Amino acid sequence: MKENEQPEGELAIRVQTMPENTNPAGDIFGGFVLSQMDIAGGLVTKKISKGRTVTIAVDAMTFYKPVMVGDTLCCYVKLIKQGKTSMTVKIESWVARQYEDIREKVTEGVFTYVAVTADRVPRKIDEPYTDN
């Protein structure tokens, strides 16, 4: 991470972390953070493809700092590659620390989604989505 670094991409989701999201050590469970990132990526990719998308890969996850109870977790999504049916996005998670004016990048990863039909068959991104 670089000093004075700013989030890249579109703010797709913001959620306050709660005690029920903790691991046995009392920090926010990494799986919770990963799930929020996946939700954020899905929101952006379904907007790009104008229809349903599914996650097919999660690559290069890096956790930099812990997330604590009460932090506001913000996930930013940036499209880095688009194919005929797939989209690869970089997702960064940042936190606003509770009771502080500090914003820190806590994790980032690369996720790949595929546009699908209602029957979960891959479809071209530029084809209209129908839910029949």
- For the chain, the average pLDDT equals 94
> What is the value of pTM for the model shown?
0.92
pLDDT in tens, 72-89: 999 999 999 999 999 999
What pLDDT does 3 receive? Answer: 66
Q: Which CATH superfamily is domain 10-115 in?
A: Hotdog Thioesterase (3.10.129.10)
Share of the chain above pLDDT 90, in %: 85
Residue 2 has pLDDT above 70, yes or no: no
Domain ranges of the chain: 10-115
Q: Is 64 exposed, middle or buried (0-12, 13-18, 19+ CB in 10 A)?
A: exposed
